[in-house]
């Protein structure tokens, strides 16, 4: 009897103690909600791969809900397997390898110039080099189409055509432009990997080689290059994950000639209503994504053997470029010109000229911005008067702000809980799960969410087609950035400041509002800024979620490129870039923080 | 007010296999100034944190008077913010986004002290701790020593009945440290609160405390007033840890012939004795005939080193193949190699058994 009484008291007190410290409650809520938003979609999609769905029965036969192997068979072993899966897979691999072959040497070379040589004007060059990060990944594709478009697709003519040159199909569409455009977008990414790696390399390794009498060329070949090997592997794997995750470029440049890679193949299956097949392709993409990133972090761990962090503030010895300097400077300038100035210039001029690219006075026009009948675009109004465009601007801003703020705050709370409960299983689980969306290619994650939210499940309503779903999916997908920054900030802060407030008698609510959140403000800004920029450029994640009522700027661009309305597409791209830059400047001004540091990954 | 009682406290951190605090029992009378002393990692901070409730013990009971703060059996637990204790963190833990003034006033606001009163109390504590002129600055604009004093001020302004200090003087220079020590002692006399003071500086513990608790590897080794701790260490660990230069000791197995001349003085301990210890200052070197009594133990010795420290002399001696340090206060002019006579009052021999427990009286 006494024993039972004791047990009851214990249970009561344990509950009371738990309520006293809301950290536990928050942790439980976060774990449950995130498990639902991260694991459940993937689970539901995996179920879709072997059960007959409402729209599937024509493929699989059988009744809705039956278990079937038909979708796996269709993807892996049927007449259409090569169209749906094998060809896209091989092409994805091919594109990734070709992109790496271009982007890695280019990025590495530029990193070497910037870090190790006395190239003039390094400072502004290296900040320009980060500009492609701010531009959507598929900007180049839009620009490419604007320049090289031929009559194969309808709509307005390409720039070259207005000068009387009709580009052949291989130049206008398919593998070649996709590879070039992806490479142009991704080389700054290789650049930042290499320049970080070069900067952190212990200068003494080089100096000791110099002391034993090694000439500079030998040092580069025998010391620096081998030490760069891990960064190279890492760059390749991450470029591969980027190619798998990117939808816009292959869609814009590949669809016309049926050059599909995995993300576009998934989209095609989705559009033709094959839920089961979509799910199988998505699961494959997720597996590949998980494999690549695990391989990368495995290599990263293995790199501990290569730890070469130098003494703090060690000064780089700069290689003089000597008489070859003008040659190298022009090389860098050409790269910047091709990857930044020409695209931006093309975007701007194409929206201001009737015959695209022809810069004569009578050819200039503002009709694409403010006109009410546009040449060869029936029923469209100029950008600034076009209800579709304006509506998409509002939708984009709304969703980006909502998703960014949501993931920023959740990120902070995850950081808070993870640090406070660092030893508990749930704390570790929370940390893991908040990073998981990073492993899942965007378009596959969207597919997974559609499969979960297509119908009402218990208390959760069917959200497909709503703005809410777009916001939720974005917030979850960007959570890895936000929670990483939250965890890092909390780690640095530690528990002490909050505990000191607790000692002073501050209840939990006061500790959060007066101590934790104000101290974390800086990292909160970063945790909001990065998701905002990403959300404004997001295409892969939202293309399947967008419905006529929830069109975003990025999906609007795709509609216009579909119709061949390049001027309108370009105008919207410009508006995106401008909005991002304005937002970034305003936030940096307001907070004095470099919000885009850490944009690298 | 009332005393604090810790009964059989045990704590093992999750993910660790060793006990950070083990079977810890301690009674702290109200108004005392207790030092928790021990080497790094022995569980001092953990003990303080359990007292404040920032850490929950696995088992045991913590009581404040007749109020139970924690009971491992029933899982009763009074949360930190309701215990009303003050704690100065080892890391200071000042709030970086608040000015010094805001740092100090935060606790008063939490206790709903009226505005007019807050200003007065801040002013008082600022002049008490001599941190005038820093009110509008932020913590990162202060030196380590200033930050430490702000951390002290932040807690002391709340007048807690129990003030816990985790190495509060470790970052001050020697002079300021001495001054602050005196200040703490004065404040304690004035405010009559209970202070628990964590340090690994034995000098600090000896000079400040009414009682010292020496810990090692999570276990309480001895709890006694400073002089008793020094004169009658409970075991070899305490004897070794307290005193500078440290106590001389040798095992009977190593110094068999020397032990044979000493042990006849303690016939009742002959069986259990294992180690013989001797404080450096209880070794008299060539004493005046008046100082050396009939029954004192005498032996010849050879000088090995002579180390003047300014006020004292530390003499390295060899007595029958065993090295000793002696501490002399009067001037001396010995040279290495000199032969001298050493004389020791038998009651100054400390004798320990095989487990290291002191068995001499
Ligand atoms: N949060 C924790 N998780 C795991 N182990 C811990 C934690 N805090 C302390 N420990 C361990 O508990 C033991 C006691 O630590 P504690 O901080 O109490 O030592 P201390 O006596 O205050 O040392 P110091 O003088 O260095 O401050 C150590 O072995 C330490 O490693
Ligand atoms: Mg400590």
Task: Provide the shortest C-alpha distance from residue A505 to chain B (in Å).
Answer: 4
Strand partners, B59: B10
Interval between CA B38 and ligand 1 midpoint (Å): 12
Task: Provide the shortest C-alpha distance from residue A518 to chain B (in Å).
Answer: 7
- CB < 8 Å to B54, chain A: 499, 502-503
Peptide bond into B245 cis (omega under 30): yes
Q: Give SS3 for B194.
A: strand
Give the whole-angstrom CA distance, residue A401 versus residue A413.
18
Residue B133's region, left for phi above 0, alpha for psi from -120 to 50, else beta, is: left
- CB < 8 Å to A506, chain B: 81, 106-107, 110
- Tell whether the model's pLDDT for residue A96 goes beyond 80: yes
Say which range, A201-215, A406-420, B210-224, has the weakest mean pLDDT.
A201-215
Q: Establish if B85 touches chain A: CB-CB under 8 angstroms.
A: yes
| Nearest ligand, CA A421 | 1
Report which protein residue has its CA nearest ligand 1's atom 5.
B13
Structure-token pair, residue A457? 């499940």
Q: Which residue in this structure is represented by tokens 């007033």?
A: B225
Phi, psi of B211 (to 5 degrees): -140, 150
What torsion do the CA atoms of A57, A269, A473, A284 make, to the nearest 10 degrees?
Answer: 100
B284-285 and B350-352 beta bridge pairing: unpaired
Under 8 Å CB-to-CB from A507, ≥6 apart: which residues? B81
Average pLDDT, chain A: 84
Residue A164's region, left for phi above 0, alpha for psi from -120 to 50, else beta, is: left
Interval between CA B45 and ligand 2 midpoint (Å): 4
Per-residue pLDDT tens over the stretch A274-332: 888 899 999 999 999 888 888 887 876 655 444 444 444 455 667 777 788 888 888 88
Say which range, A48-62, A273-287, A389-403, has the weakest mean pLDDT.
A48-62
Most confident of A132-146, A224-238, A483-497, B316-330: B316-330
Interval between CA B98 and ligand 2 midpoint (Å): 25
Give the whole-angstrom CA distance, residue A506 versus residue B109.
9
- CB < 8 Å to B139, chain A: none
Report which protein residue has its CA nearest ligand 1's atom 25.
B40
pLDDT at residue A302, as a whole number:
57
Give the whole-angstrom CA distance, residue A542 versus residue A528.
19
* Interface mutation target, options A504, A509, A525, chain B, most CBs of B under 10 Å: A504
Give the whole-angstrom CA distance, residue A392 versus residue A510.
40
Structure-token pair, residue A406? 């949501």
Report which protein residue has its CA nearest ligand 1's atom 26.
B40
Q: Please give the residue of chain B at the shortest CA–CA distance from A501.
A: B107
Per-residue pLDDT tens over the stretch A159-202: 888 788 888 888 989 999 999 999 998 888 888 888 888 877 76
Stated length of chain B: 361
* pLDDT bucket at A23, cuts 50 / 70 / 90: confident
Nearest to B344 by CA among B305, B302, B287: B287
Interval between CA B150 and ligand 2 midpoint (Å): 19
Interval between CA B41 and ligand 2 midpoint (Å): 7
Q: Which residue in this structure is represented by tokens 């993409």?
A: A285
CB A103 within 8 A of CB A187: yes
User: In angstroms, how far is CA A599 from the centroid of its own chain?
Assistant: 10
Q: Please give the residue of chain B at the shortest CA–CA distance from A522.
A: B97
CA distances for B273 relative to A461, A472, B50, B242, B259, angstroms: 81, 75, 38, 21, 10
CB A385 within 8 A of CB A370: yes
Nearest to A500 among B93, B97, B111 (CB): B93
Q: Give SS3 for A546.
A: coil
Helices (H), A200-259: 203-211, 216-219, 225-245, 248-254
pLDDT at residue A316, as a whole number:
62
pLDDT at residue A304, as a whole number:
46
Interval between CA B215 and ligand 2 midpoint (Å): 12
pLDDT at residue A362, as a whole number:
81
Count of Cβ atoms closer than 10 Å to residue A162 Cβ: 16
Give the whole-angstrom CA distance, residue A135 versus residue A490.
31
Interval between CA B287 and ligand 2 midpoint (Å): 44
Nearest to B313 by CA among B332, B289, B300: B332
Nearest to B15 among A423, A507, A510 (CB): A423
Report which protein residue has its CA nearest ligand 1's atom 22.
B45
pLDDT at residue A310, as a whole number:
42
Q: Establish if B107 touches chain A: CB-CB under 8 angstroms.
A: yes
Cβ–Cβ below 8 Å for A503 and B52: yes
* Interface mutation target, options B49, B78, B110, chain A, most CBs of A under 10 Å: B110
Mean pLDDT of A237-253: 89
Q: Establish if B78 touches chain A: CB-CB under 8 angstroms.
A: no
- Tell whether the model's pLDDT for residue A56 goes beyond 80: no
Q: What is the CA radius of gyration of chain B?
A: 24
Give the whole-angstrom CA distance, residue A219 versus residue A210.
8
Cβ–Cβ below 8 Å for B75 and A504: no
pLDDT at residue A380, as a whole number:
84
The number of C-alpha atoms within 13 Å of B227 and in the hemisphere containing its C-beta is 0
Which of B10, B11, B15, B16, when mutated, tests ligand 1's pocket best, judged by the most ligand atoms within 8 Å of its CB?
A: B16
Interval between CA B22 and ligand 1 midpoint (Å): 13
Q: Which residue in this structure is represented by tokens 């009948």?
A: A373
B245-249 contacts, C-beta under 8 A, 24 or more apart:
B245/B280, B245/B314, B245/B325, B245/B327, B247/B277, B247/B278, B247/B279, B247/B280, B247/B350, B248/B277, B248/B278, B248/B279, B248/B280, B248/B283, B248/B323, B248/B324, B248/B325, B249/B275, B249/B276, B249/B277, B249/B278, B249/B350, B249/B352
CB A442 within 8 A of CB A371: no
Query: What is the percent of chain A where pLDDT is above 90?
Result: 25
Nearest to A423 among B14, B76, B82 (CB): B14
Per-residue pLDDT tens over the stretch A440-472: 888 999 989 988 888 888 888 888 888 899 999
Name the more confident of A55 and B119.
B119
Cβ–Cβ below 8 Å for A503 and B95: no
Give the whole-angstrom CA distance, residue B296 versus residue B345.
5
| Nearest ligand, CA B43 | 1
- Tell whether the model's pLDDT for residue A598 goes beyond 60: no
Please list all protein residues whose beta carbon sits less than 5 angstroms from ligand 2, which is an ion: B 45
Nearest to A186 by CA among A120, A225, A241, A263: A241
pLDDT at residue B49, as a whole number:
93
Say which range, A201-210, A236-245, A376-385, B281-290, has the weakest mean pLDDT.
A201-210
Q: Establish if B140 touches chain A: CB-CB under 8 angstroms.
A: no
User: In angstroms, how far is CA A362 from the centroid of its own chain?
Assistant: 41
Under 8 Å CB-to-CB from B314, ≥6 apart: which residues? B245, B280, B306, B307, B308, B325, B326, B327
Task: Provide the shortest C-alpha distance from residue A25 to chain B (in Å).
Answer: 16
Domains delineated in chain A: 80-365 (1.10.3720.10), 374-601 (1.10.3720.10)
Q: What is the CA radius of gyration of chain A?
A: 26
Task: Provide the shortest C-alpha distance from residue A9 to chain B (in Å).
Answer: 6
Q: Give SS3 for A11.
A: helix
Structure-token pair, residue B134? 């820093």
| Nearest ligand, CA B49 | 1
Per-residue pLDDT tens over the stretch A475-517: 999 998 888 888 888 888 888 899 999 999 999 989 999 998 8
Under 8 Å CB-to-CB from A53, ≥6 apart: which residues? A64, A275, A276
Query: What is the percent of chain A where pLDDT is above 70?
Result: 92
Name all residues whose Cβ lies below 6 A of ligand 1.
B 13, 16, 20, 38, 40-46, 90, 200
- CB < 8 Å to B97, chain A: 518-519, 521
Nearest to B81 among A17, A507, A521 (CB): A507
Nearest to A14 among B75, B87, B89 (CB): B75
* pLDDT bucket at A154, cuts 50 / 70 / 90: low
Name the more confident of A110 and A521.
A110
Q: Please give the residue of chain A at the shortest CA–CA distance from B78.
A: A17
From first to last of its 361 residues, chain B has per-residue pLDDT tens of 588 999 999 999 988 889 999 999 999 999 999 999 999 999 999 999 999 999 999 999 999 988 999 999 898 999 998 898 999 988 888 999 999 999 999 999 999 999 999 999 999 989 888 888 998 999 988 888 888 889 989 998 998 989 999 988 887 788 888 888 888 888 888 888 899 999 988 888 998 999 999 999 999 999 999 999 999 999 999 999 998 888 999 999 998 899 999 999 998 988 899 999 999 999 999 888 777 778 889 999 999 999 988 888 999 999 988 999 999 888 788 889 999 999 999 999 999 999 999 998 7
Q: Give SS3 for A35.
A: helix
What torsion do the CA atoms of A227, A228, A233, A235 make, to the nearest 10 degrees?
Answer: 150
Interface of A with B (CB under 8 A): 6, 9-10, 13-14, 16-17, 20-21, 423-424, 494, 496-497, 499-507, 510, 514-515, 518-519, 521
Phi, psi of A290 (to 5 degrees): -60, -40
Nearest to B89 among A13, A496, A515 (CB): A496
Helices (H), A361-441: 367-370, 387-420, 425-435
Give the whole-angstrom CA distance, residue A539 versus residue B96.
40
H helix or E strand, kind and range, residue B323: strand B322-328
Cβ–Cβ below 8 Å for A13 and B77: yes
Mean pLDDT of A51-70: 75
Q: Give SS3 for A260.
A: coil
pLDDT at residue A155, as a whole number:
67
| Farthest CA pair distance, chain A | 99
CB A158 within 8 A of CB A167: yes
pTM for this model (two decimals):
0.79
Structure-token pair, residue B136? 């509008």
Measured at the CA of B170, the angle between CA B165 and CA B174, to 5 degrees, comes to: 125
Under 8 Å CB-to-CB from A460, ≥6 apart: which residues? A36, A453
Structure-token pair, residue A109? 């070379």
- Tell whether the model's pLDDT for residue A390 goes beyond 80: yes
């Amino acid at each position: 009897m006494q024993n039972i009484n004791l047990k009851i008291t214990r249970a009561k007190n344990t509950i009371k103690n738990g309520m006293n410290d809301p950290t536990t409650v928050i942790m439980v809520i976060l774990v449950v909600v995130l498990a639902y938003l991260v694991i459940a979609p993937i689970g539901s999609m995996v179920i879709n791969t072997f059960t007959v769905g409402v729209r599937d029965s024509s493929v699989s036969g059988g009744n809705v809900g039956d278990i079937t192997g038909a979708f796996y068979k269709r993807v892996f072993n049927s007449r259409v397997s090569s169209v749906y899966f094998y060809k896209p897979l091989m092409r994805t691999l091919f594109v990734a390898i070709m992109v790496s072959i271009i982007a890695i040497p280019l990025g590495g070379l530029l990193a070497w110039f910037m870090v190790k040589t006395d190239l003039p004007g390094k400072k502004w060059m290296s900040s320009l080099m980060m500009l492609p990060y701010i531009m959507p990944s598929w900007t180049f594709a839009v620009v490419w189409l604007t320049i090289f478009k031929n009559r194969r697709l309808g709509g307005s003519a390409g720039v070259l055509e207005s000068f009387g040159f009709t580009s052949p199909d291989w130049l206008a569409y398919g593998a070649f432009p996709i590879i070039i455009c992806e490479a142009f977008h991704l080389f700054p990414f290789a650049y930042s990997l290499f320049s970080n790696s070069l900067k952190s390399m212990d200068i003494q390794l080089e100096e000791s080689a110099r002391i034993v009498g090694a000439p500079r060329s030998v040092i580069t070949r025998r010391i620096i290059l081998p030490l760069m090997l891990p960064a190279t592997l890492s760059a390749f794997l991450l470029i591969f994950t980027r190619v798998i995750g990117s939808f816009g470029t292959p869609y814009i440049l590949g669809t016309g000639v049926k050059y599909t890679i995995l993300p576009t193949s998934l989209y095609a299956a989705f559009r033709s209503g094959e839920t089961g097949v979509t799910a199988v392709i998505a699961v494959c993409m997720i597996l590949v994504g998980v494999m690549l990133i695990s391989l990368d972090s495995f290599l990263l761990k293995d790199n501990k053997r290569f730890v070469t962090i130098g003494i703090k503030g060690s000064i780089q010895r700069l290689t003089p470029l000597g008489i070859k300097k003008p040659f190298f400077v022009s090389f860098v300038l050409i790269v910047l010109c091709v990857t930044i100035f020409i695209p931006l210039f093309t975007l701007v001029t194409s929206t201001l000229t009737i015959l695209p690219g022809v810069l004569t006075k009578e050819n200039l026009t503002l009709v694409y911005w403010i006109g009410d009948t546009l040449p060869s675009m029936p029923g469209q109004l100029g950008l600034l008067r076009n209800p579709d465009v304006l509506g998409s601007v509002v939708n984009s801003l709304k969703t980006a702000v909502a998703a960014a703020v949501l993931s920023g705050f959740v990120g902070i709370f995850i950081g808070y809980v993870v640090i406070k409960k660092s030893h508990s299983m749930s704390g570790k689980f929370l940390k893991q799960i908040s990073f998981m969306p990073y492993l899942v290619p965007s378009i596959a994650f969207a597919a997974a969410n559609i499969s979960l939210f297509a119908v009402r499940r218990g208390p959760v309503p069917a959200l497909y087609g709503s703005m809410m779903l777009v916001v939720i999916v974005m917030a979850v997908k960007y959570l890895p950035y936000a929670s990483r920054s939250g965890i890092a900030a909390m780690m640095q802060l530690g528990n002490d400041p909050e505990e000191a407030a607790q000692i002073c008698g501050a209840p939990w609510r006061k500790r959060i509002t007066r101590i934790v959140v104000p101290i974390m403000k800086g990292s909160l800004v970063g945790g909001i800024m990065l998701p905002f920029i990403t959300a404004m450029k997001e295409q892969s994640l939202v293309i399947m979620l967008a419905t006529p009522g929830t069109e975003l700027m990025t999906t609007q661009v795709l509609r216009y490129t579909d119709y061949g309305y390049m001027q309108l597409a370009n105008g919207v791209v410009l508006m995106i870039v401008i909005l991002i830059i304005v937002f970034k400047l305003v936030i940096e001004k307001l907070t004095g923080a470099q919000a885009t540091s850490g944009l690298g990954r | 007010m009332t005393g604090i009682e810790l009964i059989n406290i045990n704590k093992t951190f999750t993910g660790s296999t060793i006990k950070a605090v083990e079977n810890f029992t301690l009674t702290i009378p109200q108004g005392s100034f207790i030092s928790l002393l021990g080497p790094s990692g022995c569980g001092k901070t953990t003990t303080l944190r359990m007292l404040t409730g920032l850490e929950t013990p696995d088992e045991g009971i913590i009581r404040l008077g007749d109020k139970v703060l924690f009971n491992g059996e029933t899982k009763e637990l009074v949360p930190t913010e309701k215990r009303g204790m003050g704690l100065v963190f080892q890391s200071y833990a000042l709030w970086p986004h608040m000015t010094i003034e805001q740092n100090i006033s935060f606790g008063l606001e939490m206790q709903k002290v009226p505005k007019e009163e807050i200003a007065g109390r801040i002013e008082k504590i600022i002049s008490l701790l001599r941190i005038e002129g820093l009110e509008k600055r932020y913590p990162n604009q202060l030196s380590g020593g200033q930050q430490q004093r702000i951390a002290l001020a932040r807690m002391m302004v709340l007048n807690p009945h129990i003030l816990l200090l985790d190495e509060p003087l470790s970052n001050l220079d020697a002079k300021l440290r001495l001054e602050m020590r005196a200040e703490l002692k004065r404040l304690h006399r004035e405010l009559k609160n209970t202070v628990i003071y964590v340090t690994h500086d034995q000098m600090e513990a000896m000079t400040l405390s009414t009682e010292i608790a020496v810990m090692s590897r999570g276990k309480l080794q001895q709890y006694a007033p400073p002089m008793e701790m020094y004169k009658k260490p409970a075991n070899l660990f305490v004897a070794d840890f307290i005193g500078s230069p440290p106590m001389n000791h040798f095992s009977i197995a190593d110094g068999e012939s020397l032990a044979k001349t000493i042990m006849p003085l303690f016939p009742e301990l002959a069986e259990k004795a294992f180690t013989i210890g001797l404080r450096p200052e209880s070794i008299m070197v060539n004493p005046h005939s008046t100082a050396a009594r009939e029954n004192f133990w005498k032996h010849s010795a050879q000088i090995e080193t002579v180390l003047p420290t300014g006020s004292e002399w530390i003499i390295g001696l060899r007595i029958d193949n065993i090295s000793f340090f002696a501490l002399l206060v009067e001037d001396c002019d010995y040279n290495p190699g000199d032969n001298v006579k050493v004389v020791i009052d038998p009651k100054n021999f400390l004798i320990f058994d095989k487990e290291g427990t002191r068995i001499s009286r």
